[in-house]
Amino acid sequence: MNISDFAKERDDAFTKAVMNDDWKAVRKYCKKWKVPMPEDRKAFKAGVYKAVQLCTNIPEDVKEVAFLKCIKMGFNPYIAPPKKEEKDD
């Protein structure tokens, strides 16, 4: 797997989904790279809108549209950082 190809294809697919409601590109990307997709359509879209916020090469205008669409759907547009596990000393 070439990580730069993976990221470029993801960013292109996410941008098409956010800006044009073209979800075919995201489904094709997920199938090609074996990325699991939620069966629930609303969860699938919200997941993409949230993921866009963490993609460093996606333009800010695309992130803003994704942010607003996510909120309109009733979801928090951000992905919470992982919680640190407490160590038992």
Residue 67 lies in a domain: yes
Whether 8 is covered by a domain: the verdict is: yes
Inside any domain, residue 87: no
Phi, psi dihedral angles at 74 (to 5 degrees): 95, 15
Which structural domain, as residue segments, surrounds residue 23? 3-72
Contacts of 41 by beta carbon, 8 Å cutoff, 6+ apart? none
Task: Examine residue 50 and state whether it is found in any structural domain, yes or no.
Answer: yes
Spatial neighbors of 79 by CB under 8 A, at least 6 apart, are 50, 51, 53, 54
Residue 37 within a domain:
yes
Spatial distance between the Cα atoms of 48 and 17, rounded to a whole number of angstroms? 8
- Whether 1 shows a pLDDT value over 90: the answer reads no
CA 53/CA 59 separation, integer angstroms: 10
d(CA 62, CA 29) in angstroms, rounded, equals: 18
Give the confidence band of 67 by pLDDT, cuts at 50, 70, 90.
Answer: very high
Residue 81: inside a domain, yes or no? no
Judge whether 61 and 35 are in contact, CB under 8 Å.
Answer: no
Residue 83's pLDDT band (boundaries 50, 70, 90)? confident
Band of residue 87 on the pLDDT scale cut at 50, 70, 90: low
What is the pTM for the complete model shown? 0.85
Q: 17-44, pLDDT tens digit by residue? A: 999 999 999 999 999 999 999 999 999 9
**Domain assignment of residue 77, yes or no:** no
| Domains: count for the chain | 1
